[in-house]
Structure 1
Amino acid sequence: MSDSWPRRRLLAILRGASEPLDAQELARITGQHVTTVRFHLDVLTRESLVRQFQQPPRGRGRPRIGYSAVQRSVGYQDLAQVLADQLGPDPRRRSEAAIAAGRAWGAKLDVDDHRIESLEDAKDVTMTLMSELGFAPERDSAAETAERVVIRLPACPLRELARTHSEVVCGVHLGLIEEVLDRSGARGEVDVQLYPFIEPELCMARLELVAARPPVDQDGATVPAAYDDDEMPPEPLIAPSGRVAPQLRNSDAHVAKQSAQQW
C-alpha cells in the first residue's frame, strides 16, 4: 500500500463510498486541487488499489472517469498467526513487542501536514487511519465529553486472530495509532486505549486528553474514585502502565456495552 498520507486518505474515502467517485468529487471532499487528486489517483491505479470506471457525463461533454477501491480480503491471517506465536508465552512481553511493532509501522507512514491542535483533530486522524485499515470506524457521539472521544470499531480485519491473540493484534493497532498521533503533534497530550470485544463483533477505541485521565495507583491500575461500582467502564487491553488487562469474555459483552454507554 502507498505510504503517502493523501493517497491513504483518498483510498479510505473510496472504500467507504457506495459508488465510484470522480476526481472532482474527491477534490471537493478532501479540499485538494483536482490536479493533485488526479495525480494520486493515477498512482493508486498503478498500484492496483483502485479501479477506473467510465461514468455518464454531467450534461454535455465527455464521459467522466469514476474511481472505486479494489476490495481485497486479508490474505496474511496465517502469517499473522505464526508471527504472534513467535512472540513468546508472556502476555505482557507479547503486548510490549506488539506495541513497539505498531509504532515502527506508524513511523514509516507519511502523516498529514495538518497538525493536531485539539481532541477533535486527534479523532479525525484516528478515524481516517482506522477506516483505511478496514475497521469501518463509527463515532460514538453519545459517549463523548469535552475531554474524551469514543470510536466504535465493528469490522476488525483480523478479528478471528484477535480472539486468541488480542494482546498482539490490538497491541499493534494501539502502537500504530499512538505513533501516528504523536507524529502529528499530539505527543503527551492524548491517551489512547483499546477495548477488545465489548460485544462479540465490536471493539472500541477511546481518546482522552491526558490531563483528564483518572489517577492510577503504584501498580498502574486506575483509581475508580470518579465512578460508582456499577458505572466502571470495561478495562482496556493495555492499561496506562503497559500491563495486559484481562480480556472480556463474550458472555460479559452486555455488561461492557452498558458500561460503555455511560462513559
Structure 2
Amino acid sequence: MTSVAQELRWGPEADGRPSLLAPSMRRRVIDVLAAAPLTVHGRPGLAAQDVATRLDIHVTTARFHLDVLLASHVVEARSERLGVVGRPRKIYHLVPAGVRLHPTHRELSALVTSCWGLPEPTGSATMFPAARAWAREHADLEPLAWAPAATPGEWLVTVERLVQTMAEWGFRHGISLVEGGRTVDLQLRAAPFLAIAARHAPVLHAFRRGLITGVLDRLGEPEVDVVLTPHEDIAVTTAHLTSRSPFRHTVGTGLPGPVLPTSTTTRRRANRRRDA
C-alpha cells in the first residue's frame, strides 16, 4: 500500500540535491498526519507534541520537520482550544491534495530550506547567490526596450514587472516612490514561508533579496541597490530598490537637473535687459 509520503515524493532536484521529503523522519511525519484523528472540533490534525509522541522523538525535532512542511505548503496549521479556558494549541494537518503547491513553489521551498542548517552569516551568504541564480533561470522575462531605465517613469514600470513576476511565486507587494522616483519601496504584504520566518529571518531576507536581484538582472537592471529593512513583524519587511543608472532628469531629489541649451529668444531678452 502506497503511503501519503510516497505519493508526495517529488524526487531529487536537477542538480542532485535530495528532495524536500528526502529525510525519512519527514516522511514519517507525513504518514502520521495522514492518519490523524479528529479533534474536538471535528477536523483531523495533531499538535506537535502528539506527533512527537507517536514517532518517539523530541518535540523540538517534530516542530523542525513540521516547519519545513509548513514552508512547502504540504502541511497547514490552525489554532484550537480544548475548552473555554486555556491557551489555544497549534494543530497541524495535511493540505488537501487538490490544493498543493505548484512545482515551481516546491522548488522555492527546497531552495529556501537548503541553508537552514548553516550558521550565520554563512547561511545568508550562501542563500543570496543561490536565490539570484534561481530567479535568473526561472523568470520568463526579457529586458525592457529602454533597459536600463533612464527616467523615473521607466524605472517604475520596470519595478512593476518585477512585482508581477514575484506575485507568480507567492510574493505580494505594495509599491511607493521615494527620492523623486529613483528609489522604489516594496512593502511585503504576503509571502511563502512566513510561518517559519522568525526562526530563519536572515536566510529568508537573503532569499528575498536574491530573488529580487535575479529578476532585475533579467529585466536588464543590474545596477540596483537592494536593501531590506526588517521590522519587528517580518511580514511587513520593506525592500528599498535604488537605481544607480544615470537618469536623464530627476524630480524632487535635490540633484541638479540637466543643462539645457539657451534658446535664441531667451538670449535676445537677456541682451535687451542688459542694454537697458
Larger radius of gyration between Structure 1 and Structure 2: 2
Q: Higher relative contact order at CA 8 Å, sep ≥6: structure 1 or structure 2?
A: 1
